[in-house]
Homo-oligomer: A and B are copies of this chain.
Amino acid sequence: MSRPSYSEIVASLPSVTPFVGPETIERQQGQPFRVRIGANESAFGVSPRAAAAMSEAARGVAWYCDPEGYELRAELARMHGVDIDNVTLGAGIDDLLGLIVRMYMNPGDAVAASLGCYPTFVYHVNGFGGRLETVPYRSDRNDLMALTDLAAKRKARILYLSNPDNPTGSYYGSNAIADLLERVPPDCLFILDEAYLDFVPTDTILPFDVDDPRLIRVRTFSKAHGMAGARVGYAIAHKEIIRTFDKVRLHFGVSLVAQVGALASLRDPQFVASVVKAVEAGRRDYVKLTEDAGISALPSQTNFVAFDFGTGERAEAVMNALIERGVFLRKPAAPGLDRLVRVTVGTPEDRAIFSELFRDVMKGM
């Protein structure tokens, strides 16, 4: 039977989803996971104040959200010392990355990133018909010099960097990022994905320069704020760029519940500070665990630790054995990174269960 044709770009896309959810694996395995430490969610939950605000908001959910997200944007602007016109909201960084790719990239254009970077960014570049150009990680860190060289050489429209990095956990401070910005070609948009920035010391963070028309910084409430299931993130950039988001974004796309919850969470900084502290303790536990097992772990400034199993085969074997035993985990697949398994910091109880299972699995390897 004849049928309407898909658009040229969509017709050419493979059936690949960026991430399989743990619920899917649970349905396949016929049992729930005991420990969920595979998606860098926050095991420490959401601020009780934010939860209360969202519960209240749920009763008023018959009303559309404020499409301008005024109150949340105003609070973010105040906190970051920028103007409200320098802030836009999105339904998580995933949403914002799609919009940015659409805003800056024509089909066929080159985009530069590290080989093995955040899969949803790659999904958007492919999804809008772009051409991803990559350089490998170097010593398990993004190779900043190679990235800007690549962007210049390939005339990339966009350069993407996750800092702190996912999936390695590595981090560059303000000086390195400022140096990189000096080298970004003037006609290349630089996306600085700061999803994990809540976990780094504040004095290492590059100050905002919203006069730079080459830079969009994106952040999220999904990590330290413990709101992954609410879908809310934001971008900070030159106000002309923020106005351009208004030409493509879903104006009612950030739910009322998410907006209210994010605002309440911002006003509970003690909660986020306590999460950051708990995560630091968890990272130390994981480092000790790897040392005891005779393997290494990459230094991390995030809410996860990349365990280094030396080879992709061994990493895969250990991960699969742990998944079978009820631990939800993920690992990078890119060459050079495939020897890693990314372990999210769980609660002390999660870590106790995981440690026991991990030691057990490692004995058999």
Q: Which residues of A come within 8 Å of B, CB atoms?
A: 1-10, 13-21, 23-24, 27, 36, 39, 41-46, 51, 54-55, 57-68, 70, 91-92, 94-95, 98, 102-106, 109, 120, 127, 157-158, 186-189, 213-214, 222, 226-231, 243-244, 246-248, 250-253, 255-258, 261
Contacts and interface: CB of A to CB of B under 8 A. Distances in A.
Given A1-B213, A7-B104, A62-B229, A92 B252 contact: yes
A193 to B, nearest CB: 16
A231 B248 contact: no
Contacts of A253: 91-92, 94-95, 231
A122 B19 CA distance: 32
A229 B255 contact: yes
Given A62-B229, A64-B39, A247 B15 contact: yes
Contact of A227 (B62, B157, B247): B62
A59 B58 CA distance: 12
A74 to B, nearest CB: 11
B257 A229 contact: yes
A10 B95 contact: no
A127 to B, nearest CB: 5
B255 A98 contact: no
A19 B252 CA distance: 9
Given A3-B186, A18-B251, 9 more contacts: A2-B187, A6-B104, A19-B251, A45-B60, A46-B62, A55-B58, A58-B257, A94-B250, A257-B257
Contacts of A228: 61-64, 252
Among A4, A27, A246, max chain B CB count under 10 A is at: A4
Given A63-B36, A106-B7, A247-B10, A255 B257 contact: yes
A126 to B, nearest CB: 9
Contact of A67 (B19, B41, B54, B55): B19
A23 B252 contact: no
Given A41-B64, A187-B2, A8 B106 contact: yes
A285 to B, nearest CB: 19
B62 A103 contact: no
A21 B68 contact: yes
A4 B188 CA distance: 5
A65 B222 CA distance: 12
Contacts of A226: 61-62
7 contacts: A2-B186, A3-B214, A24-B66, A41-B63, A64-B228, A94-B251, A230-B257
A270 B256 CA distance: 25
B231 A5 contact: no
A130 to B, nearest CB: 10
When A and B form their complex, which 6 residue pairs have the shortest distance between CB atoms, in order from nearest? A229-B256, A3-B213, A54-B58, A62-B226, A55-B55, A23-B66
B229 A67 contact: no
A122 to B, nearest CB: 13
A157 to B, nearest CB: 7
Given A63-B228, A257-B230, A10 B102 contact: yes
Given A3-B214, A214-B4, A230 B252 contact: no
Nearest to A3: B213
Given A10-B102, A54-B257, A229-B257, A15 B213 contact: no
Contacts of A227: 61-62
